Amino acid sequence: AYDGNDTAVVTGAVLVGNSTTDIDGKFIGTEAVTLNGGTAGTFASKNVGAGQGVTTTMTLGGSDAGNYTLNTQPTLSGTITAKALTMTGSSAPSKVYDGNRLASVTLGALSGEVAGETLGASTVLGTFNSKDVLSANTVTAVYTLVNGLNGELASNYSLANDSLASTITAKSVGSETVTASGAAANYSSANVGTYNGVVVTYTLGNGSNGGLASNYSLAAGSATGVITAKDVSIASGSVSGKVYDGNTGAVVTAGGLSGLVVGENLGTTTAVGTFASQNVGTRNVTAAYTLTDGANLASNYNLLNPTETLSATITAKGLSVTAPSIASKKYDGTTAAGVVTVGTLSGFVGSETVTAAGAAANYSSANVGSYNSSVTYALGNGLNGGLASNYSLAAGSATGVITAKDLVV
């Protein structure tokens, strides 16, 4: 590093012995020859710089030095780096808020120059870490060294930046006041959303304590505005009853909307209905409504009553059956019909089944003959969740026969 002189330290300079010819540049190995001045050199300049030439004044020594000559000095170069200085005692006084980060710095004492040298007064640029009162707490001081009055070069030295503690205090305002009213520019869209960078312009009015609007100006600013969804309501809907189909789905028709912006229309409201149970009976139905786009956007509205409870009836599903048969009977003096054999049932939901038992109405006479009789059915619970109450089976008819009773003589 810079020390104010041009002295250089040289290393690695040696003489090589054990000569074998008279032109190899070596000395005879048995003779006493040494190298004087092999560790000292002189820089071309004492000042900071890279790749400076270094000269040497090496000579031969030893009792046999007279037998030799040193024809050349080595070609050398070296670098002188800047000497680091120290600044102690610098300070950054607090300032009143002014909207920028510039800071004043009071210089401390500079030390570390080479003996006999003195640089000129350093200049400094101070910068707060923030322009704001709450977050400003540090000033970075960047120093610039100045050449001395007696030829001392600032470039021969370096001085690191400082980090100084400081603050920004709030700015007091006078007692005059004016009023301000703001007007925001139109949003880029009329739809629900957040709109950033909306220009706000101000109109000043005279205030108190002599504050005249004409003495002040207020630049336009920007703000963020939000359009939220408009609340709407839906009138009570209606639900249709259905024949048992094994599921809870219900067909709901939505009521009309109220509260839309004048002149706007949405699409048909989506209505989803769900019976409280899939089985036959009068059941509550939960209706859920969803707004849909039409000529205007559904996202601009909020439905206040998106669900309601309605009521509807699930009726039994009618089954079909193939023709029943009535067993013949011997005359017994009564009109009771024979045993009914039920035909094959069909029309179930999915894999459900129910059972069926048939009963024939009494014949019109107890006498021998053929009689057409009405057949009614009684259903019973079956397999795979089949409940008799979810199905119905209409009455049918069949022909029964009373045959003569055998007598013995």
The answer to whether the CB of 326 falls within 8 A of the CB of 358 is no
Measured distance CA(285)–CA(87) in Å, rounded: 85
> Does residue 232 register a pLDDT over 70?
yes
Enumerate domains of the chain plus CATH numbers.
7-81 (no CATH), 84-169 (no CATH), 178-227 (no CATH), 232-315 (no CATH), 318-403 (2.60.40)
Per the CB < 8 A criterion, the answer to whether 180 and 205 are in contact is yes
- Residue 219: the pLDDT is 83
pLDDT in tens, 11-31: 867 766 666 565 666 666 677
Point out which residues pair with 320 in neighbouring strands.
Answer: 346
pLDDT tens, residue by residue, 263-294: 999 999 999 999 999 999 999 999 999 999 99
* pLDDT, position 405: 94
pTM: 0.52
Average pLDDT in the 188-201 region? Answer: 88
At residue 173, the pLDDT reads 55
User: Angle at Cα 319 formed by Cα 316 and Cα 320, nearest 5°?
Assistant: 160
At 28 the pLDDT is 66
What mean pLDDT, rounded, does the chain reach?
A: 89
Please tell me the predicted confidence (pLDDT) of residue 204.
82
